[in-house]
A = this chain, B = another copy of it.
Amino acid sequence: MRELEFIRYITRRFKIKRPVVKGIGDDCAVIKYKKNKFLLFTCDMIIEGTHFTKKTHAFEIGWKAMAVNISDIASMGGIPKYALVAAAVPRGKNIRFLKEIIRGIEKISKKFNISIIGGDTNNSEKIVLNVTLIGEAEKKHLTKRDGAKPGDLIFVTGALGEGKSKHLNFLPRLRESRILVKNFKINSMIDLSDGLAMDLNRLARASNVGACVYKSLIPLSKKSEPLEKSIFAGEDFELLFTASIAESKKIMKRMGKKEDLPITLIGEIVKRPLGVGLIEDNGKLTPLKPKGYAHF
């Protein structure tokens, strides 16, 4: 069973009750909280052999476990607040190693003003870290992946295809997310954990729309993999979002004035029957399949 299938299977099985605003199927679950605020919940598990190797520095394991969750909160327009950390490490793993994992968790938690409020420790053959992150989002700023509309322009933060070089020490795009949701009307947003191809398809399916991205517009850096790979490469943890043309103009105006918003226009949302496609340099449209980094 592939991950997408599995998630669909689970989504069908577990019916969502009030006051759950959004259950399975977005980056975070959303629950009613205060008059003007929602609570956001997300959890991500990282595992030796899948998300890092035996040789990965312990500090980076801790950093990454928290960073991927912050990225989920950022993709909903929220602010991370509290975390639960469950760690399993091999029996007899030395104390310095564990302390280094904690130092990594601590460092990024301080940076983003997150309190660790609980946890669980276990032993296992391979290292497993599960972080549950609890955040808040003002009702007016909550941004889901299902709000894209035909005519919206599509943007990404940063450069794609850098995952390989930065997935262990990346800085989640929380600052950028907050600038966006506080200053503009963002119709939909998702973080790129499994590559542009996969995550754009997720956003399009959730919003019941199609999407076209221009190959020539995809931002790459010196650290990126080649373009063909960068489109499918996972663990970029950049934000992919859409806004109406009117809002997009405001966003681009702001981009011109200040340098705090490293974003690039890459395409536009179209009607569902047009599907999700990549426009080649010669103008030809190729379907962009939801393949990429799958966990199963």
Give residues in A with beta carbon < 8 Å to B: 1, 3, 6-7, 9-10, 13-17, 20, 23-24, 28-29, 31, 33, 39, 41-45, 47, 49-51, 82, 84, 86, 88, 91, 95, 98-99, 102, 106, 109, 115-126, 128, 130, 132, 134, 295-296
Contact = CB atoms under 8 A, between A and B. Distances in A.
17 contacts: A6-B98, A6-B121, A10-B102, A13-B102, A14-B106, A14-B117, A15-B115, A16-B115, A20-B115, A29-B84, A43-B43, A43-B130, A47-B124, A50-B123, A121-B296, A124-B128, A125-B125
A100 B133 CA distance: 27
A52 B17 CA distance: 31
A88 B128 contact: yes
Contacts of A106: 13-14
Contacts of A14: 106, 109, 115-117
Nearest to A33: B33
A117 B28 CA distance: 9
Contact of A16 (B49, B117, B119): B117
A213 to B, nearest CB: 26
B123 A126 contact: no
Contacts of A99: 9
A98 B1 contact: yes
A86 B296 CA distance: 13
B84 A119 contact: no
